[in-house]
Amino acid sequence: MSAQQTAPLTVFGGVRAAIIDLDGTLLDTAPDFHVAINAMRADLALAPLPLATIMRFVGKGSENLVHGVLAHDLGAALAGQYQAQALASYLSHYAIVNGRSSTVFPGVREGLAALQAKALRLACVTNKPIAFARPLLAQNGLLEFFEVLYGGDSLAAKKPDPTPLLQVCRDFDLAPAQVIAIGDSANDAQAARRAGCPVLLLPYGYNHGESVQDVDCDGIVATLLAAAQLLTD
């Protein structure tokens, strides 16, 4: 269905697990991206970019992010020539700033607690490299909620490919229809659709700088807590 909400949200029964995105869903990591990307651009003698421009390229992994912010003013061909150097620079800078300015979105802790109270198994699937995702969740007190964590470099493919979502289903020994995906972007929704999982989106995230209102999903909820309240035994 379209994400335009003109009717009451669906109540989901039979869900036994949830797969939750990280950037733009659990944590507002935009300030960290802003610092690291512009530090990388400074290394290449490029002018800084505004946050809104950078966030258009967040969500599909570090390689896509770096290529996007280079191609924005260099063009795709020249961006490709600098990709390896730029990616190494970006990862170095991001390792320093990771979590320094990030904040937990409202309703996240309460939502995770509510999901756990419903005895749902929880996984976090992000396109952020695992070496950044794990400490970021830990320093914000969120890692303990998750039984499974996959980063963008953990498996052979990343979202919007369904591979990581299907791997979680196998890990939990559940059918995709029993595992709900919760994220903030078309990236999350496409991965869920391809995996056969129901999917809810949060409107406060990044979604490549576009509204989630027209993304194919099963509903848009204000907070993670609101998502948890739609799940029944």
Q: Are 207 and 59 in contact (CB under 8 A)?
A: yes
pLDDT value of residue 199:
97
Q: Are residues 178 and 80 in the same domain?
A: no
By residue range, what is the domain housing residue 56?
Answer: 30-97
| Each residue's pLDDT tens digit, 198-230 | 999 999 999 988 899 999 999 999 999 999 999
Q: Which residues of 115-141 are buried (b: 16+ CB within 10 A; e: fewer)?
A: beeeebbbbbbbbbbeebbbebbeebe
The neighbouring-strand residues paired with 122 are 18
Please indicate, yes or no, whether residues 78 and 115 belong to a single structural domain of this protein.
Answer: no
Residue 2 lies in a domain: no
Beta-carbon contacts of residue 132 (< 8 Å; ≥ 6 apart):
94, 95, 98, 151
125 with 214, same domain: the answer is yes
pTM of the predicted structure, to 2 decimals: 0.92
Same domain? For 165 and 134 the reply is yes
52-82 pLDDT, tens digit each: 999 999 988 899 999 999 999 999 999 999 9
Dist CA 44 CA 201 (whole Å): 36
- Cα separation, 61 vs 159, in Å, equals 9
Does one domain contain both 119 and 205?
yes
Residues 17 and 45 in one domain: no
pLDDT tens digits, residue range 12-58? 999 999 999 999 999 999 999 999 999 999 999 999 999 999 999 99
Same domain, 153 and 57: no
* Cβ(127)–Cβ(59) below 8 Å: yes
Domain assignment of residue 211, yes or no: yes
- Residues serving a catalytic function are 21
The answer to whether residue 3 is domain-embedded is no
32-58 in b/e form (b: 16+ CB < 10 A) is bbbbbbbbbbeeeebeebeeebbbbbb
